[in-house]
Structure 1
Amino acid sequence: MTDELTRPLASLRQAGLPFYPLILVFATGQVSDEDCMAMKRVPMPELGAPFDSSLSHTLSEAFAKNSSIHDGAIIFTRNRQGEPYTLSAWSMRIVSKKKPRAPEPNFGSAYNSALSLSMAENIDMCCIISPDRTTLFQNGTSHFSET
Protein backbone atom coordinates (compact mmCIF):
# COMPACT_ATOMS: atom_id res chain seq x y z
CA MET A 1 0.00 0.00 0.00
CA THR A 2 1.41 3.36 -0.88
CA ASP A 3 1.36 6.44 1.30
CA GLU A 4 -0.09 8.31 -1.69
CA LEU A 5 -3.34 6.41 -1.03
CA THR A 6 -3.30 5.28 2.59
CA ARG A 7 -2.64 8.68 4.19
CA PRO A 8 -5.51 10.49 2.42
CA LEU A 9 -7.81 7.51 3.10
CA ALA A 10 -7.05 7.66 6.83
CA SER A 11 -7.70 11.40 6.98
CA LEU A 12 -10.90 10.99 4.94
CA ARG A 13 -12.32 8.48 7.40
CA GLN A 14 -11.34 10.66 10.36
CA ALA A 15 -13.01 13.71 8.78
CA GLY A 16 -16.38 11.98 8.76
CA LEU A 17 -18.40 11.20 5.66
CA PRO A 18 -21.95 11.95 4.53
CA PHE A 19 -22.61 8.21 4.04
CA TYR A 20 -21.20 4.75 4.76
CA PRO A 21 -19.90 2.47 3.50
CA LEU A 22 -17.84 4.34 0.94
CA ILE A 23 -16.35 2.16 -1.80
CA LEU A 24 -13.38 3.65 -3.66
CA VAL A 25 -11.53 2.11 -6.60
CA PHE A 26 -8.13 3.26 -7.87
CA ALA A 27 -6.93 2.31 -11.35
CA THR A 28 -4.08 3.11 -13.69
CA GLY A 29 -5.83 3.10 -17.06
CA GLN A 30 -9.45 2.26 -17.78
CA VAL A 31 -11.70 0.08 -15.65
CA SER A 32 -13.25 -2.62 -17.83
CA ASP A 33 -16.98 -2.64 -18.54
CA GLU A 34 -16.79 -6.36 -17.69
CA ASP A 35 -15.84 -5.41 -14.11
CA CYS A 36 -17.95 -2.27 -13.45
CA MET A 37 -21.15 -0.81 -14.89
CA ALA A 38 -22.46 2.71 -14.51
CA MET A 39 -25.72 3.22 -12.63
CA LYS A 40 -27.62 6.18 -14.03
CA ARG A 41 -27.93 9.08 -11.61
CA VAL A 42 -29.83 12.31 -12.30
CA PRO A 43 -28.38 14.71 -11.54
CA MET A 44 -24.90 13.26 -11.82
CA PRO A 45 -22.27 15.03 -9.71
CA GLU A 46 -19.27 16.48 -11.51
CA LEU A 47 -16.20 14.42 -12.36
CA GLY A 48 -12.52 15.36 -12.35
CA ALA A 49 -11.96 16.09 -8.66
CA PRO A 50 -8.49 15.16 -7.42
CA PHE A 51 -7.94 12.43 -4.85
CA ASP A 52 -6.59 14.66 -2.11
CA SER A 53 -7.56 16.36 1.14
CA SER A 54 -10.53 18.08 -0.56
CA LEU A 55 -12.31 14.77 -1.19
CA SER A 56 -14.49 14.97 1.93
CA HIS A 57 -15.86 18.31 0.68
CA THR A 58 -16.36 16.88 -2.84
CA LEU A 59 -18.30 13.93 -1.42
CA SER A 60 -20.50 16.16 0.74
CA GLU A 61 -21.36 18.39 -2.23
CA ALA A 62 -22.13 15.39 -4.43
CA PHE A 63 -24.31 13.79 -1.76
CA ALA A 64 -26.23 17.05 -1.31
CA LYS A 65 -26.76 17.20 -5.09
CA ASN A 66 -27.91 13.56 -5.35
CA SER A 67 -28.04 11.32 -2.28
CA SER A 68 -28.22 8.16 -4.43
CA ILE A 69 -24.51 8.44 -5.32
CA HIS A 70 -23.74 6.53 -2.12
CA ASP A 71 -24.85 3.36 -3.90
CA GLY A 72 -21.93 1.81 -5.76
CA ALA A 73 -18.24 2.48 -6.12
CA ILE A 74 -16.52 5.78 -6.83
CA ILE A 75 -13.73 5.33 -9.37
CA PHE A 76 -10.45 7.26 -9.45
CA THR A 77 -8.15 6.78 -12.44
CA ARG A 78 -4.85 8.01 -13.76
CA ASN A 79 -3.12 7.49 -17.10
CA ARG A 80 0.30 6.40 -15.76
CA GLN A 81 1.92 5.47 -12.48
CA GLY A 82 3.23 8.53 -10.69
CA GLU A 83 0.37 10.74 -11.87
CA PRO A 84 -2.34 11.82 -9.42
CA TYR A 85 -5.70 10.05 -9.37
CA THR A 86 -8.82 11.96 -10.41
CA LEU A 87 -12.47 11.11 -9.94
CA SER A 88 -13.68 9.50 -13.16
CA ALA A 89 -17.00 7.80 -12.23
CA TRP A 90 -19.71 7.90 -9.56
CA SER A 91 -22.03 5.12 -8.50
CA MET A 92 -20.53 2.17 -10.35
CA ARG A 93 -21.92 -1.32 -9.86
CA ILE A 94 -19.09 -3.83 -9.39
CA VAL A 95 -19.77 -6.93 -11.49
CA SER A 96 -16.30 -8.48 -11.58
CA LYS A 97 -16.25 -12.28 -11.87
CA LYS A 98 -12.66 -12.68 -10.62
CA LYS A 99 -12.21 -15.33 -7.92
CA PRO A 100 -9.74 -15.03 -5.04
CA ARG A 101 -7.05 -17.70 -4.81
CA ALA A 102 -7.88 -18.47 -1.18
CA PRO A 103 -11.28 -18.66 0.52
CA GLU A 104 -12.34 -15.49 2.32
CA PRO A 105 -14.98 -15.05 5.01
CA ASN A 106 -18.24 -13.57 3.76
CA PHE A 107 -18.31 -9.98 4.99
CA GLY A 108 -21.12 -8.96 2.62
CA SER A 109 -21.57 -7.98 -1.00
CA ALA A 110 -19.51 -4.78 -0.89
CA TYR A 111 -16.55 -6.68 0.58
CA ASN A 112 -16.88 -9.57 -1.88
CA SER A 113 -17.23 -7.22 -4.85
CA ALA A 114 -14.21 -5.09 -3.89
CA LEU A 115 -12.13 -8.22 -3.29
CA SER A 116 -13.02 -9.57 -6.73
CA LEU A 117 -12.46 -6.24 -8.49
CA SER A 118 -9.03 -5.87 -6.88
CA MET A 119 -7.85 -8.73 -9.10
CA ALA A 120 -8.95 -7.08 -12.36
CA GLU A 121 -6.63 -5.60 -14.96
CA ASN A 122 -5.55 -1.99 -14.28
CA ILE A 123 -6.92 -1.97 -10.70
CA ASP A 124 -4.32 -0.66 -8.25
CA MET A 125 -6.45 -0.90 -5.12
CA CYS A 126 -10.03 -0.95 -3.86
CA CYS A 127 -11.14 0.13 -0.41
CA ILE A 128 -14.22 0.27 1.74
CA ILE A 129 -14.44 2.97 4.37
CA SER A 130 -16.85 2.34 7.23
CA PRO A 131 -17.18 4.25 10.51
CA ASP A 132 -14.90 1.87 12.41
CA ARG A 133 -12.30 0.83 9.83
CA THR A 134 -10.95 0.97 6.33
CA THR A 135 -10.55 -2.25 4.38
CA LEU A 136 -7.97 -2.24 1.60
CA PHE A 137 -7.94 -4.75 -1.27
CA GLN A 138 -5.06 -5.48 -3.61
CA ASN A 139 -4.60 -8.43 -5.94
CA GLY A 140 -7.31 -10.51 -4.29
CA THR A 141 -6.21 -9.99 -0.68
CA SER A 142 -7.63 -7.74 2.01
CA HIS A 143 -6.15 -5.77 4.88
CA PHE A 144 -8.10 -4.08 7.69
CA SER A 145 -6.97 -0.79 9.14
CA GLU A 146 -8.54 0.93 12.13
CA THR A 147 -6.69 4.21 11.56
Structure 2
Amino acid sequence: MLVADVMTPLALTIGPAHTLRDAARLMAGRRVGSAVVVDPETAGLGIITERDILVSLGLGEDPDRETADAHTTTEVVFAAPGWTLARAADAMLRGGFRHLVVVDGGEIAGVLSVRDVLRGWSAARTGGTGLGQSGELVGTG
Protein backbone atom coordinates (compact mmCIF):
# COMPACT_ATOMS: atom_id res chain seq x y z
CA MET A 1 0.00 0.00 0.00
CA LEU A 2 1.23 3.47 -0.89
CA VAL A 3 1.12 6.84 0.85
CA ALA A 4 -1.23 8.12 -1.87
CA ASP A 5 -3.74 5.41 -0.95
CA VAL A 6 -4.28 6.62 2.62
CA MET A 7 -3.01 10.20 2.99
CA THR A 8 -5.33 13.10 3.66
CA PRO A 9 -5.28 14.76 0.24
CA LEU A 10 -6.55 18.18 1.27
CA ALA A 11 -3.90 19.45 3.65
CA LEU A 12 -4.94 22.21 6.01
CA THR A 13 -2.68 25.18 5.28
CA ILE A 14 -2.23 28.29 7.38
CA GLY A 15 0.04 31.30 7.32
CA PRO A 16 2.83 32.03 9.79
CA ALA A 17 0.87 34.92 11.35
CA HIS A 18 -2.08 32.75 12.40
CA THR A 19 -2.38 32.61 16.17
CA LEU A 20 -2.21 29.29 17.95
CA ARG A 21 -5.88 29.67 18.82
CA ASP A 22 -6.68 30.15 15.11
CA ALA A 23 -4.58 27.10 14.23
CA ALA A 24 -6.25 25.00 16.92
CA ARG A 25 -9.72 26.11 15.81
CA LEU A 26 -9.00 25.25 12.18
CA MET A 27 -7.46 21.88 13.04
CA ALA A 28 -10.39 21.01 15.30
CA GLY A 29 -12.85 22.04 12.60
CA ARG A 30 -11.18 19.77 10.06
CA ARG A 31 -10.56 17.03 12.66
CA VAL A 32 -6.84 16.90 11.84
CA GLY A 33 -3.79 17.00 14.09
CA SER A 34 -1.59 19.25 11.98
CA ALA A 35 -1.50 22.18 9.61
CA VAL A 36 1.05 22.95 6.91
CA VAL A 37 2.43 26.43 7.48
CA VAL A 38 3.06 28.20 4.18
CA ASP A 39 5.18 31.34 4.30
CA PRO A 40 4.76 33.22 1.00
CA GLU A 41 7.69 35.51 1.83
CA THR A 42 10.20 32.67 2.11
CA ALA A 43 8.46 30.15 -0.15
CA GLY A 44 9.07 27.70 2.66
CA LEU A 45 6.88 25.06 4.21
CA GLY A 46 6.64 23.98 7.80
CA ILE A 47 4.24 22.06 9.97
CA ILE A 48 2.54 22.78 13.25
CA THR A 49 0.88 20.02 15.20
CA GLU A 50 -1.52 19.68 18.08
CA ARG A 51 1.49 18.73 20.20
CA ASP A 52 3.20 22.05 19.40
CA ILE A 53 0.12 23.91 20.58
CA LEU A 54 -0.15 21.75 23.69
CA VAL A 55 3.49 22.45 24.63
CA SER A 56 2.91 26.19 24.23
CA LEU A 57 -0.16 26.07 26.46
CA GLY A 58 1.73 23.98 29.01
CA LEU A 59 4.39 26.69 29.15
CA GLY A 60 1.70 29.25 29.96
CA GLU A 61 1.95 31.06 26.63
CA ASP A 62 -1.07 33.00 25.39
CA PRO A 63 -2.66 31.24 22.37
CA ASP A 64 -4.10 34.56 21.22
CA ARG A 65 -0.65 36.18 21.07
CA GLU A 66 1.57 33.28 20.01
CA THR A 67 1.79 32.82 16.26
CA ALA A 68 2.32 29.73 14.18
CA ASP A 69 5.73 30.85 12.93
CA ALA A 70 7.16 30.70 16.46
CA HIS A 71 6.04 27.07 16.85
CA THR A 72 6.47 25.70 13.34
CA THR A 73 8.81 22.84 12.59
CA THR A 74 10.67 24.00 9.48
CA GLU A 75 12.98 21.01 9.08
CA VAL A 76 10.21 18.95 7.56
CA VAL A 77 10.71 15.47 6.15
CA PHE A 78 8.62 15.20 3.03
CA ALA A 79 7.08 12.02 1.68
CA ALA A 80 6.18 11.21 -1.90
CA PRO A 81 2.80 9.75 -2.86
CA GLY A 82 4.59 6.69 -4.25
CA TRP A 83 6.32 5.80 -0.99
CA THR A 84 5.21 2.60 0.68
CA LEU A 85 3.57 2.89 4.08
CA ALA A 86 6.53 0.99 5.53
CA ARG A 87 8.95 3.61 4.21
CA ALA A 88 6.80 6.43 5.56
CA ALA A 89 6.46 4.74 8.97
CA ASP A 90 10.22 4.26 9.09
CA ALA A 91 10.77 7.97 8.36
CA MET A 92 8.31 8.86 11.14
CA LEU A 93 10.05 6.57 13.62
CA ARG A 94 13.52 7.84 12.75
CA GLY A 95 12.42 11.46 12.96
CA GLY A 96 10.23 11.07 16.03
CA PHE A 97 7.15 12.66 14.50
CA ARG A 98 3.59 11.65 13.65
CA HIS A 99 2.95 13.58 10.42
CA LEU A 100 4.61 13.80 7.01
CA VAL A 101 3.87 16.47 4.44
CA VAL A 102 3.35 14.73 1.11
CA VAL A 103 4.79 16.59 -1.87
CA ASP A 104 4.38 15.72 -5.53
CA GLY A 105 6.20 17.73 -8.18
CA GLY A 106 7.00 20.49 -5.69
CA GLU A 107 3.33 20.93 -4.70
CA ILE A 108 1.63 19.91 -1.46
CA ALA A 109 -0.28 16.72 -2.24
CA GLY A 110 -1.51 16.02 1.29
CA VAL A 111 -0.51 14.99 4.78
CA LEU A 112 0.12 11.50 6.09
CA SER A 113 -0.45 10.84 9.79
CA VAL A 114 0.28 7.81 11.91
CA ARG A 115 -3.48 7.28 12.03
CA ASP A 116 -3.53 7.12 8.21
CA VAL A 117 -0.77 4.50 8.26
CA LEU A 118 -2.63 2.39 10.82
CA ARG A 119 -5.88 2.70 8.87
CA GLY A 120 -4.10 1.55 5.71
CA TRP A 121 -2.45 -1.41 7.39
CA SER A 122 -5.73 -2.37 9.07
CA ALA A 123 -7.58 -2.22 5.76
CA ALA A 124 -4.91 -4.32 4.06
CA ARG A 125 -5.07 -6.89 6.84
CA THR A 126 -8.87 -7.12 6.97
CA GLY A 127 -9.72 -6.39 3.36
CA GLY A 128 -11.84 -3.39 4.41
CA THR A 129 -11.41 0.30 4.89
CA GLY A 130 -10.34 0.08 8.53
CA LEU A 131 -13.06 2.59 9.39
CA GLY A 132 -16.37 2.23 11.16
CA GLN A 133 -19.58 3.98 10.14
CA SER A 134 -18.64 7.06 12.15
CA GLY A 135 -15.32 7.38 10.31
CA GLU A 136 -13.36 6.24 13.36
CA LEU A 137 -10.68 3.58 13.17
CA VAL A 138 -12.07 0.25 14.36
CA GLY A 139 -10.17 -2.47 16.14
CA THR A 140 -9.55 -5.73 14.38
CA GLY A 141 -8.51 -7.88 17.29
TM-score, normalising length from structure 1? 0.30
Higher strand proportion, which one? 1
Higher radius of gyration, 1 or 2: 2
Higher helix proportion, which one? 2
